Amino acid sequence: MSRTETLTWIQDIVAETVFVDTHEHLVEESRRFSSRSDRLLPCDDWALLFRDYLQQDLDCAGMGAEDKRQFYDPEVSPLDKFKIVSPYWERVQHTGYAKTFSITIRELYGVKSFAIENIEQLASQYQDVRKPGLYERVLKEVCRISECHVNSLERIFMETAQPSLLRQDLSIMELSRCSLTDIKNVESELGVQIGSFDDWLAAIDLYFEKFGNKAVAVKYVGAYYRALNFGHVDRHVAEQQFTTLIAARPFIGSEGAQALEDYLFHYCLRKAQEYGLPVKLHTGYLATNDSMPLGRVRDNAVDVCLLLQTYPNIRFVLMHIGYPYQDEYLALCKQYSNAYVDLCWAWIINPDACVRFLTEFLVSVPAHKILTFGGDFIVAENIVGHSVIARRGIAESISALVDRRWIDRGAVPELVTRLMQLNANELFPKARAA
C-alpha cells in the first residue's frame, strides 16, 4: 500500500468508529428553543456558531466591541452580519476554530463556503436543522457519537432530560471556591440554609449523595483563576476563613480564599474517591483574550504531580493536553499510573500539534491513558466540524506510525477502537439505569 492508500484505509476505519465524546458544555436541548438571549446563547441564528471559540480568534484579529454587539444582535440581518464579520474572517479563516465552522456548515447545511452568495442558504439551513431532536441528530447521526459528557455551565449538576446521551459531570469548582455567590447558588439548588462551615460540608456531602452515582466524573476548572498548588490546610483555619466570609465581610483576601479553597478542594477529592469518580482537571490554555498568565499555566503540570502522588486511587484526567505544554503531559502519563490525558478542545486550538502529540503519545505511553475527543462546546452544531478535524488527526497520527512500520497494519482496527471509545468506557463509570 502506498502512503496515500494507507491513510485512506485508516481514515475509513476511523470514520466508521463511534466516538465517546468526553467533554462538552451543551445546554439542555429545550433551552435552545426558548427565545431569550443571554450570556450563553446571545442569539439564535448562524452567528451563534461563532460563539465558541471562533469569536476569540476574531477578537484577536481586531474585531471591536461594537461590531461584536451587532454581530450577535438578533435584529441585524444575515447579510449585514456577514458584512460585519468578513474583514476579520479573512484573517482567521485558516485557524482550527475557523475550519471547525467551515466544515460544520458544509457537512451539516451543505453550504460550500462562508461567502456572501451563500449567506441566505446558511441562514435558512441553520433554522431548518435547529429543531427538536437536534442533539440526537447531530451527535448520533452526523457525528457518530454514542454519548457525551457534559459539564453544565448553569448547574453544579444538571439533571438532564437526556441522561443516556448527555452524561453529566459534577462540578466541584463552586463547591471548592465557596464565594458568597456560590453559597447563594448552592442554597437555592439544594433548598438548604448555609449558616456554618459544617453546613457547607454537609451541602457537599449532599451533592455527592444525590448525584455521585449519576455523575460520570467530577470536574474542576479552577485553573482559570488559580494555580493547582493545593496546600494542606487545617480544618480550623478553613473554618475561620469561612466564618469571616459569611459574616458579611466579603473580603477575606486572596490568601484566605485560597486557604479555604485548598481545604475544600481536598475535601471534594476525598468524596470523589469515595464514589469512585475520575477527576477531570482543566489544564493548559485558557479560553480568554488578552489575559492569560502563561507562567501559571506552565506550572499546571508541575503542580498536579503532588495531587497524583497524594491520591493514587483517583484517576485524574488532564484536559486539553495541557497545551502548549503537552510534552510535560506525556511525561506525567508515562510516570503516574493514575494520570490520563484528554485531547478535548485541543484539536482545534492547534490541530498540527495534536497530530504530533498523539503520535508521540502512542510511542511513549500505554495506549489506554488517552481520551481522544471532546468538542468543548455550548452549541452542539459545532461538534460536527470539530469531530471531523479530530478524526482526520487520529488517522494521520496512526498512519504515520504504520508508514514507519512502528505499528503493524493488523493492530490498527483495535487501536482505533481503543482510542475512540474503549478508553473512555474503561475509565468512566457506566451509565446507571434511571
User: Is 152 or 399 the residue whose CB approaches Zn ion more closely?
Assistant: 152
> Considering the rule CB under 5 A, would residue 169 count as an interface residue with Zn ion?
no
Task: Tell me which stretch binds Zn ion (CB under 5 A): 196-204, 325-333, 375-383, 392-400.
Answer: 375-383
The nearest distance, CB 288 to Zn ion, in angstroms, is 13
The nearest distance, CB 52 to Zn ion, in angstroms, is 9
The nearest distance, CB 99 to Zn ion, in angstroms, is 19
Task: Tell me which stretch binds Zn ion (CB under 5 A): 158-166, 228-236, 237-245, 368-376.
Answer: 368-376
Task: Tell me which stretch binds Zn ion (CB under 5 A): 4-12, 250-258, 370-378, 398-406.
Answer: 370-378
Residues 6 or more apart whose Cβ sits within 8 Å of residue 36:
none
> Considering the rule CB under 5 A, would residue 342 count as an interface residue with Zn ion?
no
User: Is 57 or 376 the residue whose CB approaches Zn ion more closely?
Assistant: 376
The nearest distance, CB 23 to Zn ion, in angstroms, is 6
User: Is 260 or 374 the residue whose CB approaches Zn ion more closely?
Assistant: 374
User: Is 22 or 258 the residue whose CB approaches Zn ion more closely?
Assistant: 22
Task: Tell me which stretch binds Zn ion (CB under 5 A): 30-38, 290-298, 374-382, 398-406.
Answer: 374-382
**All cell numbers assigned to 226:** 488559580
Cβ atoms within 10 A of the Cβ of 219, count? 26
> Considering the rule CB under 5 A, would residue 376 count as an interface residue with Zn ion?
yes
Residues contacting Zn ion: total by CB under 5 A: 1
How big is the chain, counted in residues? 434
The nearest distance, CB 376 to Zn ion, in angstroms, is 4
Residues forming contacts to Zn ion in the complex (CB under 5 A) are: 376
